[in-house]
Amino acid sequence: MTSFAPAVRNRRRTALALVLCGGLTAALAACGTEEDPDKGTNGVAKLSAAEIDEKARAAADAASAVRLSGTLVSKGGAYRLDMKLNAQGGMGSVSSKKQSFALLRIDDELFLKAPAEFWSQEDGGDEGGPADVAAADKLGGKYVKVPEGDPSYQRLRGFTDKKVLLDGLLALHGKVNKGGRNTVAGHRTIQILGGRGEGGAFDVSLEDEPYPVRVARGGGGGTVSLADWGQPFPLDAPEESDTVDYGGQLPKSAG
């Protein structure tokens, strides 16, 4: 009687060998095709934290324009910003729990536009604000030129100054460290941290120019997105018919 056991065992060993070889081949193939995380990027992630920080600041400084949107928190309260900025000035809106207004600056000319309620606040200017509701209504929705000597001028101008805002936003406190990779607004990024993040953090784009695309200020100071780097926008003075002279010191709350 002929035994088939050796043949069966041989077939099993052959099948096992094929499985093992197939698994090994797949593993080797996977190792060989593992994608480089820096493939298709600007290569910034390979640099040290200090070098990335320097490149991001240089790119931001050299950009002709940027849009900032988000929240800034300070001792004076929280402000929601949506500003477009360039070397000549800026335009956009600033709002808080108590008020909301638009700002427009061209060189040294600064204009503020706010609803009538803003101008009728009790803590108004030298004489307590507009004399009556009718006066406030005339100012509401109009561009009011802010005198350079007004106490609010420098504070309001800061919201429209690209260099001032970016220098403040990108300031990290403590030793600069490299954080993890992320995707922000469709951009692959690398994060730069002040300390372990308590000193602030910002995400740097790994695509095209190494622009900062999101900032988290230290100490719960708010989060701001940065976009539209280098994209021009019109910055025109308001029509004379849309401009009103306030005729006094702006309300204290404007600053």
Helix axes 49-62, 162-169, angle to 10 degrees: 160
State both tokens at 5.
């056991």
Are 224 and 206 spatial neighbours (Cβ–Cβ below 8 Å)?
Answer: no
Q: For residues 134 and 110, what is the distance between their CA atoms, to the nearest angstrom?
A: 24
Going across the sheet that includes 201-205, the strands are: 176-184, 187-194, 201-205, 212-216, 223-227, 65-74, 77-86, 89-95, 100-106, 109-113, 143-145, 243-244
Is the pTM higher than 0.85? no
Give the per-residue pLDDT at 118.
85
**Amino acid identity at 181:** R
Q: Inform me whether the pLDDT recorded for 2 exceeds 90.
A: no
Residue-wise pLDDT tens digits, 34-54:
678 888 899 999 999 999 999
**Contact of 61 with 166, CB cutoff 8 Å:** yes
Give the number of other Cβ atoms within 10 Å of residue 217's Cβ. Answer: 25
Domain-by-domain residue ranges, the chain?
44-254
> What CATH class is the domain 44-254?
mainly beta
Q: What is the pLDDT of residue 128?
A: 46
Q: CA of 208: how far to CAs of 45, 86, 205, in Å? A: 13, 20, 8
**Is pLDDT above 60 for 253?**
no
